[in-house]
């Protein structure tokens, strides 16, 4: 009695004929559940089935409906359990859970969300608006859904007093727009999917919806224009007598609706927030209203997570302002002319009926085929999407120092909501507009360039942060697979930075991030299943039996499973205990677990240990800890040297690579281990330069007896040392 919509196009057509929809399907592109009466739909197992004798609601050409692929911000954070003996080694992965954002029924698959974009909010004639210069700082008006007020008091305070004002202020400083002189009144949503535009004003057929939503937020009446309607033939157009024109919004260029609802989407795959634009103005198609939903359960009030939350909200705002697959086709050049040719009848870009997004020109995004893309055991052809607008090209070439790079690579994974709406993670790892959060996100010049290339904004490049990932690494890095990069460099005996090839295993050996702001690990791990061919990046891996390489890859799938050094969090019984960033005092291990005498907080950096493990000795026993490799320590720049502080002692560094031998009594234990001096210039160079000084070079270290050394004094009775090896279990997860 019910039938799934067939995937095969020919069969689909036959089938649509049976239910009276033939001749419509080209117009619909998709057959959607919303095209039928509710009674004709059967829902089970997350799929929608349509009764064979179903009759469609209507058959109209939909010119105005577009699905926006709302972004979902997710995290790819890296977790390691705290030293807890007894836990067995395990690796936990979240499944490749992908957000899809469309309601249409295709082959019986139900996507979960459709957002309708309303075009044509009329602010004035294009020829007048276009003439305005883009010199006015962007003004964003925030509007809260009542769900925001229902947040816990501390969460509300954080969002309202810190996160939103700072995020909004950032973009108001970073972007300029043409002046909006007019009062903004948003269009009402129509009951029908078809609209008529008369005298630049949008008219619904017969009636407007009683409620107009922007994302999860109901747009207040005072923001809405009067309801204008025509009859089905476009005649008898008038203002609906029952509706009133709202006061509108003055002194703003963009209205940002914010909600904090624990929606289904929040529950899917650790989604932190999602956002999209919802209305565009008619003259130049600039998005004029947008929304974000912050998932309440993901809002953390911990100080060490503040920067992450702030960056997430900035990221979401940018999707609504222009960085979105549903807006690329509307981008304009600096003269206000469309970068993508428009349809003569509607003035809109052509719609890709299959994807339900407006198609962009190859002057905006171009497909590039990379031949000889190295993967395990050979080569493949890899097709990638490049953003090729002029400023993006310029900035990408400058960043990588690759003069023939076609543009900036867009993400190809993650499905709708992630693919194409972010930069490629492999290429721009911690750029804040990549598809998952991993570590220390920055908004770079390349992202500002994209906003400028929309034609709606000018960017203040002073607001960009330096991006070190990939900087100056050339075309070999920017245009070839990470396998190529790793093998080319390692065969020359050189560092494979920024990638790594050390499998996380027992005992856990940590490293430092490049900027030394965090203890970190190589995220190369064994996956449950062989990776897809295009993401197999190793022919051989140290300590991995031959033939099993296909299971190994970096934990971040959006980075094409290329392994790299990543911050992580320590976990105990599935609860996050502390992070690995040096600057937060909260990340200090408990005194009884602080075997390497680390010290987190302001003025703390990550320093490497030597190859030998740290040990603790009391008069009764010796214990050795099963993870080591690096730690956070306070330091000072003094006397033209770097000094590393351990417990109450200061250890001056005389040359890079110098091994400092540490023997310090603390908490009744003698802690023994070593720390390796980095170059003074890396840590203190800038500081000394400000003082008109520089680091001393080519010095010799004094003999070790000139350094502080504690001794363990025991009486004869106690001098019975039993050796205990503390087994530290490893457990890592890459939450998505």
Contact positions vs Zn ion (CB under 5 A): 71
User: Of the two residues 71 and 608, which places its CB atom closer to Zn ion in the complex?
Assistant: 71
Q: Which tokens hold the place of 169?
A: 């202020």
Q: What are phi and psi of 66, to 5 degrees?
A: -135, 140
Distance set, CA 31 to CA 3, 111, 366, 390 (Å): 14, 12, 29, 38
User: Of the two residues 71 and 225, which places its CB atom closer to Zn ion in the complex?
Assistant: 71
420 phi-psi bin (left φ>0, alpha ψ -120 to 50, beta other): left
Residue 316: CB minimum distance to Zn ion, A: 7
Q: Which tokens hold the place of 65?
A: 């409906």
Does the annotation flag 422 for ligand binding?
A: yes
Peptide bond into 498 cis (omega under 30): yes
Upper half-sphere CA count for residue 23 (Cβ side, 13 Å): 7
Q: Which tokens hold the place of 63?
A: 């010119």
Q: Which tokens hold the place of 377?
A: 């055991």
Does the annotation flag 203 for ligand binding?
A: no
Catalytic member of 64, 82, 216, 316 = 316
User: Of the two residues 434 and 481, which places its CB atom closer to Zn ion in the complex?
Assistant: 434
Does the annotation flag 527 for ligand binding?
A: no
User: Of the two residues 71 and 431, which places its CB atom closer to Zn ion in the complex?
Assistant: 71
Neighbours of 44 (CB within 10 A): 8
Residue 291: CB minimum distance to Zn ion, A: 14
Position of minimal CB gap to Zn ion? 71
**Cα–Cα distance, 328 to 223 (Å, whole number):** 26
Q: Which tokens hold the place of 326?
A: 């549903």
**Cα–Cα distance, 131 to 431 (Å, whole number):** 34
User: Of the two residues 436 and 626, which places its CB atom closer to Zn ion in the complex?
Assistant: 436
Q: Assess contact for 80 and 252: CB atoms under 8 A.
A: no
Residue 267: CB minimum distance to Zn ion, A: 18
- Which residue, among 473, 454, 464, has the nearest Cα to 392 in the 3D structure? 454
689 catalytic, yes or no?
A: no
**Cα–Cα distance, 117 to 109 (Å, whole number):** 22
User: Of the two residues 99 and 281, which places its CB atom closer to Zn ion in the complex?
Assistant: 99
Q: Which tokens hold the place of 240?
A: 């609906």
Upper half-sphere CA count for residue 654 (Cβ side, 13 Å): 12
Q: Give the position of tokens 């908490």.
A: 667
Q: Give the position of tokens 């998709």.
A: 30
Residue 317: CB minimum distance to Zn ion, A: 11
Q: Give the position of tokens 């007894």.
A: 86
Binding-site members are 315, 319, 422
Which amino acids are annotated as binding site for Zn(2+), given as ranges?
315, 319, 422
> What amino acid positions are annotated as catalytic residues?
316
């Amino acid at each position: 009695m019910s039938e799934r919509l067939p995937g095969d196009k020919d069969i689909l057509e036959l089938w649509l004929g049976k239910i009276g929809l033939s001749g419509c399907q080209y117009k619909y592109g998709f057959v959607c559940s919303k095209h039928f009466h509710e009674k004709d739909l059967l829902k089970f197992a997350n799929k929608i089935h349509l009764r064979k004798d179903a009759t469609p609601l209507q058959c109209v050409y939909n010119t105005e409906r577009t699905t926006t692929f709302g972004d979902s911000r997710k995290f790819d954070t890296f977790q390691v359990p705290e030293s807890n003996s007894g836990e067995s080694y395990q690796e936990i992965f979240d499944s490749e859970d992908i957000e899809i954002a469309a309601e249409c029924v295709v082959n019986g698959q139900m996507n979960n969300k459709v957002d309708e974009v309303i075009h044509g909010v009329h602010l004035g004639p294009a020829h007048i608006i276009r003439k305005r210069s883009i010199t006015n700082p962007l003004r964003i008006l925030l509007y809260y859904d009542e769900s925001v007020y229902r947040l816990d008091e501390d969460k509300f305070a954080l969002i309202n007093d810190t996160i939103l004002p700072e995020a909004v202020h950032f973009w108001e400083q970073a972007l300029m727009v043409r002046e909006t002189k007019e009062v903004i009144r948003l269009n009402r949503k129509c009951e029908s999917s078809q609209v008529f535009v008369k005298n630049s004003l949008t008219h619904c057929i017969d009636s407007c919806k009683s409620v107009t939503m922007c994302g999860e937020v109901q747009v207040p009446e005072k923001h809405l224009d009067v309801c204008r309607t025509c009859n089905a033939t476009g005649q008898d157009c008038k203002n609906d007598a029952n509706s009133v024109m709202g006061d509108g919004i003055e002194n703003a260029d963009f209205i940002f609706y914010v909600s904090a609802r624990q929606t289904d989407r929040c529950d899917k795959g650790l989604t932190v927030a999602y956002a999209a634009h919802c209305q565009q103005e008619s003259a130049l198609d600039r998005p004029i209203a947008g929304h974000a939903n912050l998932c309440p359960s993901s809002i953390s009030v911990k100080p060490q997570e503040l920067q992450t939350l702030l960056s997430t909200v900035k990221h979401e705002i940018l999707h609504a302002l222009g960085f979105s697959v549903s807006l690329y086709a509307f981008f304009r050049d600096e003269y206000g002319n469309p970068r993508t040719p428009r349809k003569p009848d509607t003035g809109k870009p052509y719609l890709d009926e299959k994807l339900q997004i407006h198609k962009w020109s190859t002057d905006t995004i171009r497909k590039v085929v990379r031949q000889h893309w190295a993967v395990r055991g050979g080569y493949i052809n890899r097709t990638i999407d490049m953003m090729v607008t002029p400023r993006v090209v310029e900035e990408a070439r400058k960043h990588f120092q690759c003069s023939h790079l076609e543009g900036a690579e867009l993400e190809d994974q993650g499905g709708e909501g992630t693919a194409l709406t972010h930069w490629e993670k492999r290429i721009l790892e911690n750029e804040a507009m990549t598809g998952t959060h991993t570590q220390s996100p920055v908004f770079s010049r390349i992202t500002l360039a994209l906003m400028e290339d929309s034609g709606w904004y000018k960017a203040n490049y002073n607001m960009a942060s330096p991006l070190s990932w990939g900087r100056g690494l050339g075309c070999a890095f920017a245009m070839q697979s990470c396998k190529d990069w790793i093998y080319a460099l390692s065969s020359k005996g050189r560092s494979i930075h920024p990638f790594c090839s050390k499998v996380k295993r027992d005992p856990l050996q940590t490293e430092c991030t490049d900027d030394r702001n965090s203890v970190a690990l190589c995220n190369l791990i064994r996956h449950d299943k062989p990776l897809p061919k295009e993401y197999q990046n190793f022919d051989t891996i140290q300590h991995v039996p031959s033939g099993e390489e296909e299971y190994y890859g970096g934990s971040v799938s959006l980075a094409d499973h290329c392994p790299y050094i990543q911050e992580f969090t320590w976990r105990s019984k599935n609860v996050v205990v502390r992070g690995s960033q040096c600057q937060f005092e909260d990340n200090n291990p408990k005194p009884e677990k602080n075997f390497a005498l680390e010290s987190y907080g302001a003025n703390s950096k990550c320093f490497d240990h030597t190859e030998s493990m740290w040990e603790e000795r009391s008069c009764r026993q010796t214990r050795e800890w099963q993870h080591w490799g690096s730690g956070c320590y306070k330091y000072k720049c003094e006397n033209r040297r770097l000094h590393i502080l351990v417990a109450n002692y200061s250890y001056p560094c005389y040359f890079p690579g110098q091994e400092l031998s540490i023997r310090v009594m603390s908490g009744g234990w003698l802690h023994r281990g070593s720390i390796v001096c980095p170059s003074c210039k890396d840590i203190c160079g800038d500081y000394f330069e400000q003082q008109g000084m520089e680091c001393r070079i080519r010095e010799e270290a004094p003999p070790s007896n000139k350094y502080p050394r504690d001794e363990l004094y025991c009486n004869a009775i106690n001098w019975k040392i039993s050796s205990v090896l503390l087994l530290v279990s490893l457990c890592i997860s890459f939450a998505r």
